[in-house]
Chain A
Amino acid sequence: MATRVDPTFFKSLEKFGVKDWKDCYHCGNCTANCPLTEEDTLFPRKTIRQAQMGLKDKLISNTDLWMCYFCGDCTKTCPREANPCEIMRSIRRYQTSVYDWTGLSKKLYTSAAWEIAVIVGIGIIILALFGLFLPPSAELWSNPARFINAQGGVMINNLVDGISGSKFLYIIHYGDWVMALIAGGLLISNIFRMFYLTLWRDTSVRIPLTAYVTEFWRLVYHFLTQPKLRKCDDKSYWLGHITLMTGYTIMFILIVALLPVFQTEEIVPWYNWQRILGYYATFGILVFLIPVIVGRFRKRQCKLKHTHPTDWHFIIMLGLTALSGIAVHIFRLSGMPLETYFSYVIHLAILVPMILIEVPFTKWSHLAYRPFAIYIKALKRAAGRREEAPIPQFA
Chain B
Amino acid sequence: MEEVRIGVYVCWCGNNIAKMVDVQDVAMEVETLPNVVIARDYKYMCSDPGQDLIISDIKKHRLNRVVVSACSPRIHELTFRKALEHAGLNPYMFEMANIREHVSWVHNDREEATRKAKSLVAAAINRVCWHESLEKRSVEINPATLIIGGGISGITAALEIADAGKQVYLVEKSAQLGGFASKMCLTSPFMYSTTQMIRAKINKVMNNPNIQVLLNTQIEELSGYLGNFTTTVSEDGRDLELKFGNIIVTIGLKAFDPSVIENYKYGILPDVVTSLEFEGMLKAGKIETRDGRIPRHVAVIHCVGSRNATYHDYCSRLCCKNALKYANMVRAAIPGANIFEMYADMRAMGNGCEELYSVTSKKNVMFLMFDQHNGLPEIRKAGPKDNCDMIIELDEKLSGERIEVPADLVILMVAIEAHEEAKRLAQVTGVSMCGNQFFIERHPKLDPVATTTDGVYVAGSCQAPKDIPDSVAQARAAAARVLCTISKGNVEVEVTTAEVNEDRCCGCQTCISVCPYTAITFDEEKSVSVVNEVLCKGCGTCGSTCPTGAIRAQHFTDLQILSQIDGLLEKSMELKEV
Residues of A at under 8 Å CB distance from B? 1-5, 7-8, 22, 26, 46, 49-50, 52-55, 58
Among candidates A3, A8, A22, A46, residue contacting B403 with C-beta atoms closer than 8 Å: A3
**CB-contact partner of A2 in B361, B362, B368, B402, under 8 A:** B402
CB of A315 to closest CB in B, whole Å: 33
Asked whether, in the complex, the Cβ of B402 is within 8 Å of the Cβ of A3, the reply is yes
B381-418 CB contacts (< 8 Å) to partner A: 393, 396, 398-406
Q: Does B463 contact A (CB under 8 A)?
A: no
- A1 and B391 CA atoms in complex are apart in Å by 13
**Residue pair A5, B403 in contact (C-beta under 8 Å):** yes
Taking CB atoms, residues of chain A closer than 8 Å to B393 are: 2
- Report yes or no: A22 in contact with B399, Cβ–Cβ below 8 A: no
Known: A22-B362, A53-B366. A5 touches B400 (CB 8 A): no
Are A7 and B399 in contact, CB atoms less than 8 angstroms apart? no
Is A53 within 8 A of B399, CB to CB?
Answer: yes
Chain B residue with minimal CB distance to A23?
A: B361
Q: Which of B393, B401, B405 has most A Cβ within 10 Å? A: B401
- Min CB distance A50 to B, Å, is 6
CA distance A8 to B338 in the complex (A): 8
Smallest CB separation, A341 vs chain B (Å): 58
Contacts of A52 in B (CB 8 A): 366
A3 B401 Cβ-Cβ under 8 A: yes
- Total CB contacts across the A-B interface at under 8 A: 50
Task: Determine if B364 is an interface residue (Cβ-Cβ < 8 Å).
Answer: yes
Docked pose: A7 CA to B364 CA in angstroms: 8
Beyond the given A2-B402, A7-B364, A22-B361, could you list 12 further A-B residue pairs with CB under 8 A, ordered by the A residue number? A3-B404, A4-B403, A5-B368, A5-B403, A7-B338, A7-B340, A22-B362, A46-B400, A49-B398, A50-B401, A55-B399, A58-B401
Counting contact residues on chain B (CB < 8 A from A), the size range is 10 to 19
Q: Is A53 a contact partner of B403 (Cβ separation < 8 A)?
A: yes
Which residues of B have CB within 8 Å of A54? 366
Interface string of B52-95 (1 = CB under 8 A from A): 00000000000000000000000000000000000000000000
**Alpha-carbon distance A327/B441, docked complex (angstroms):** 88
Q: Which residues of B are found within 8 Å of A46, using beta-carbon distances?
A: 399-400
B406 to chain A: closest residue by CB: A4
B340 surroundings in chain A (CB, below 8 A): 5, 7
- Tell me the dominant secondary structure on chain B's binding face: strand
Give per-residue flags for B355-386: 1 if the beta carbon is below 8 A from chain A beta carbons, else 0. 00000011010101000000000000000000
B146 to chain A, nearest CB (A): 48
| A55 and B366 contacting across the interface, CB-CB below 8 Å | no
Q: How far is the CB of A93 from chain B (nearest CB, A)?
A: 21
Q: Can you list 29 A-B pairs with a CB-CB distance of less than 8 A? A: A1-B402, A2-B404, A3-B401, A3-B402, A3-B403, A3-B404, A4-B403, A5-B366, A5-B403, A5-B406, A7-B339, A7-B340, A7-B364, A8-B338, A22-B361, A22-B364, A46-B399, A49-B399, A50-B399, A50-B401, A53-B366, A53-B396, A53-B401, A53-B403, A54-B366, A55-B401, A55-B403, A58-B399, A58-B401
A22-B361, A53-B366 are known contacts. Are A4 and B399 too (CB-CB below 8 A)?
no
A23 shortest CB reach to chain B, Å? 8
Contact (Cβ within 8 A) A4 B396: no
Instruction: Give the most central of B340, B366, B404, B405: most A CB within 10 Å.
Output: B366
Give chain B residues whose Cβ lies under 8 Å from the Cβ of A55: 399, 401, 403
Bound form: Cα–Cα A54–B297 in Å: 15
Q: Are A53 and B368 in contact (CB under 8 A)?
A: yes
Asked whether A4 lies within 8 Å of B404 as measured between CB atoms, the reply is yes
Most chain A CB atoms below 10 A, which of B339, B340, B364: B364
The distance in angstroms between the C-alpha atoms of A73 and B402, with both chains bound, is 30
* B361: chain A residues within 8 A (beta carbon): 22
On chain A, the residues within 8 Å of B339 by CB distance are: 7
Name B405's contact: one of A5, A22, A49, A58 (CB within 8 Å).
A5
Within 8 A of A (CB), among B227-272: none
Partner of A7, one of B362, B366, B401: B366
Where the two chains meet, the residues of B that have a C-beta atom closer than 8 Å to any C-beta of A are: 338-340, 361-362, 364, 366, 368, 393, 396, 398-406
Q: B376 CB to closest chain A CB, in angstroms?
A: 15
* Top 7 closest pairs, chain A to chain B, by CB: A49-B399, A2-B404, A2-B402, A7-B338, A4-B404, A26-B398, A7-B366
CA distance A26 to B368 in the complex (A): 11
Determine how close the nearest CB of chain A comes to the CB of B536; give it in whole angstroms. 55
Neighbouring B residues of A5 by C-beta, 8 Å: 340, 366, 368, 403-406
CA of A52 to CA of B403 in the docked complex: distance in angstroms?
13
Rounded to whole angstroms, the CA-CA distance of A237 and B361 in the bound complex is 36
A3 / chain B contacts, CB cutoff of 8 Å? 401-404
Residue in chain B with minimal CB distance to A47: B399
B257 to chain A, nearest CB (A): 28
Q: How many angstroms from the CA of A50 to the CA of B396 in the assembled complex?
A: 11
Q: How many angstroms from the CA of A2 to the CA of B383 in the assembled complex? A: 15
Please give, as numbers and ranges, the residues of chain A lying within 8 Å of B404 by CB-CB distance.
Answer: 2-5
| Residues of chain B contacted by A53 (CB below 8 angstroms) | 366, 368, 396, 399, 401, 403
B522 to chain A, nearest CB (A): 62
Residues of B close to A8: CB separation below 8 A: 338
Query: What separation, in Å, do the CA atoms of A26 and B406 have in the docked complex?
Result: 23
Q: How far is the CA of A273 from the CA of B368 in the complex (A)?
A: 61
On chain B, the residues within 8 Å of A49 by CB distance are: 398-399
Residues of A within 8 A of B400 (CB): 46
A287 CB to closest chain B CB (Å) equals: 41
Alpha-carbon gap, A49 to B396, bound state (A): 10
The docked-state distance in angstroms from the alpha carbon of A7 to that of B368 is 11
In the assembled complex, the Cα of A2 lies from the Cα of B403 at a distance in Å of 5
Instruction: Report Cα–Cα, A182/B404, bound state, in Å.
Output: 42
* Cβ-closest chain B residue relative to A49: B399
Q: How far is the CB of B407 from chain A (nearest CB, A)?
A: 11
Residue from B396, B399, B401 whose CB has the most chain A CB atoms within 10 Å: B399
Least Cβ–Cβ distance between A343 and chain B, in angstroms: 53
CB distance from B248 to the nearest CB of A (A): 42
Nearest B residue to A22, CB-CB: B361
Distance between Cα atoms of A7 and B419 in the complex (Å): 39
| Chain B residue at minimal CB-CB distance from A46 | B399
Write the chain B residue with the least CB distance to A42.
B400
CA distance A4 to B403 in the complex (A): 6
Q: What is the distance, in angstroms, from B426's C-beta to the closest C-beta of chain A?
A: 42
Q: Give chain A residues whose Cβ lies under 8 Å from the Cβ of B362.
A: 22
B200 → A minimal CB distance (Å): 39
- Point out the residues of chain A lying under 8 angstroms from B368, CB to CB: 5, 53
| CA–CA, A223 and B364, complex, Å | 40
B406 contact set on A, CB distance < 8 A: 4-5
CA distance A3 to B395 in the complex (A): 10
Cβ–Cβ < 8 Å partners of B405 in chain A = 4-5
Kindly state the separation between the CA atoms of A50 and B400 in the bound complex, as whole angstroms. Answer: 10
Bound form: Cα–Cα A3–B402 in Å: 6
| Bound CA–CA A153/B364 (angstroms) | 66
Expressed in whole angstroms, the Cα–Cα distance for A136 and B265 within the complex equals: 82
Q: Bound complex: CA of A3 vs CA of B364, how far in Å?
A: 20
**Docked CA distance A58–B400 (Å):** 11
Q: Write the nearest CB–CB distance from B375 to chain A, whole angstroms.
A: 13
A49 to B401, CA, bound (A): 10
- In the bound complex, CA of A110 to CA of B405 (Å): 29
Min CB distance B156 to A, Å, is 37
A7: B residues at CB distance < 8 A: 338-340, 364, 366
For A22, A46, A50, which residue has the most chain B Cβ atoms within 10 angstroms? Answer: A22
B338 / chain A contacts, CB cutoff of 8 Å:
7-8
Query: B337: nearest residue on chain A (CB-CB)?
Result: A7
Write the chain B residue with the least CB distance to A45: B398
CA distance A3 to B393 in the complex (A): 9
> How many angstroms from the CA of A185 to the CA of B94 in the assembled complex?
101
Chain A residues whose C-beta falls within 8 Å of the C-beta of B399 in the assembled complex: 46, 49-50, 53, 55, 58
Shortest Cβ gap from B172 to chain A (Å): 44
* A53 vs B339: C-alpha distance when bound (angstroms): 12
- Rounded to whole Å, the gap between the CB of B345 and the closest CB of chain A is 12
The answer for the CA separation of A5 and B406 in the assembled complex, in Å, is 8
Closest to A28 in B: B398
Question: Closest CB-CB distance, B49 to chain A, in whole Å?
Answer: 57
